[in-house]
Amino acid sequence: MLVTPFFARQIDDITCPEALLALLPCLPFLQGTGPPTPPNNCCIGLNNLNQRANTTQIRKDVCNCLKPAASRFKVNPDKSKQLPKLCNIALSVPFDPSVDCNTILNNNLNIFLSIDMKR
């Protein structure tokens, strides 16, 4: 049986590593170790990922990719809730740190719906 690590899974036309790399500039802000506002390249990455996640299945896959990463990198859920507003990105799905990725509907991607700190 072939086992593929979560970070190598293909997310339709977005790989999990691509999704993670798009948000890498956000990490210091999301961990609470960086400046009080996200850097511009963070917002650009979030916006690009939001635009590329243009189907329900891609959004679910991205959510399932980022969910374990958020826990592993100790992302602060409060910071993740602030990110779209601070980046001036309209995401139509409300923030919820305990979201079930399978419930994501055909709306704009809310990347950080995937954060589940209750592991």
What does each C-alpha distance from 41 to 22, 37, 44, 73, 79 come to in angstroms? 9, 12, 5, 19, 16
What does each C-alpha distance from 2 to 5, 6, 39, 61, 107 come to in angstroms? 10, 13, 39, 19, 33
Residue with tokens 């990105």: 89
Q: Collapse the DSSP code of 46 into the 3-class scheme (helix H, G, I; strand E, B; otherwise coil) and give the result.
A: helix
Q: What does the pLDDT read at residue 53?
A: 84
The answer to the question of residue 3 being in a domain is no
Give how many domains the chain has, as a whole number. Answer: 1
CATH number at residue 43: 1.10.110.10
Q: What does the pLDDT read at residue 105?
A: 67
Range of the domain at 103: 14-114
- Give 10-residue mean pLDDT values along the chain (119 residues): 46 81 94 95 92 85 84 88 89 54 65 44
Q: What does the pLDDT read at residue 33?
A: 95
What is the value of pTM for the model shown?
0.75
Q: What does the pLDDT read at residue 81?
A: 83
